Structure 1
């Protein structure tokens, strides 16, 4: 299953940008490849950039990586709930409050990348466990309809979105 094979009813407009950025490959392949690409990319960032902010009140690279980790966990939780046919609407979250309540800037970059890798590998097991029927199930998250498989592509696109921000505003 590829992102361009998703049906229009599988995700709301709020997720469209991330779906577009997910890549052209199969969901599982893209989850694997995008992780390796991201880690390799981050490991090549000069050390003096990890605590850099391009403007006041903007996040550092370390904070953005923590945000990617937190968001991936939330998307996986949503995918799990929806895959199990839980019809409860799932609320959004305030990413700024999440970052304020972390110590990501006190962590070293390898610790953050190791955590991201562990989260992604766990989510790969989760996505590989889903049946075709479970992948197609649709629930409500952040007041938008979304399928389990669309959440997988949103996870990939969200990570790629932030990698582009690193390239455009931090390096």
Structure 2
């Protein structure tokens, strides 16, 4: 299986605590995901109040042609206000490992995402990544970046 890597950084004009509180809540994911993906958390919200290692989160998502699929991730590591890692247990990818890092900077927080993923179907998965998947993931993170600016404001250029 071939693996792919994407990374993203964004500076936010909010404290690490505020950033952590927002991004560590699975219930906020739909707010920063493109509407056409019809992303919904299907886990009981009462079970998602505080993130912890071992937390299982289930979703429905439509990544392609409006077809809804089930997706399950597990939060495998958490260091409060520093990082958390989610890994797919089942869903559209053969492998999904997503690191979310938070670091205090002057006037706010730097948030970094490191995504490593693999696709099923061998050579067909490789072609799908080249033609569609990598671009779609880039679009999702670009959308997320813009939504975060709308929610929290733009980090001032220093």
* Structure 1 or 2: more helix by fraction: 1
Interval of TM-score (by shorter of Structure 1 and Structure 2)? 0.3 to 0.5
Which structure is higher in strand share? 2
Question: TM-score, structure 2 length as denominator?
Answer: 0.33
Higher relative contact order, structure no. (Cα contacts within 8 Å, ≥ 6 residues apart): 1
TM-score, length-scaled by structure 1:
0.32
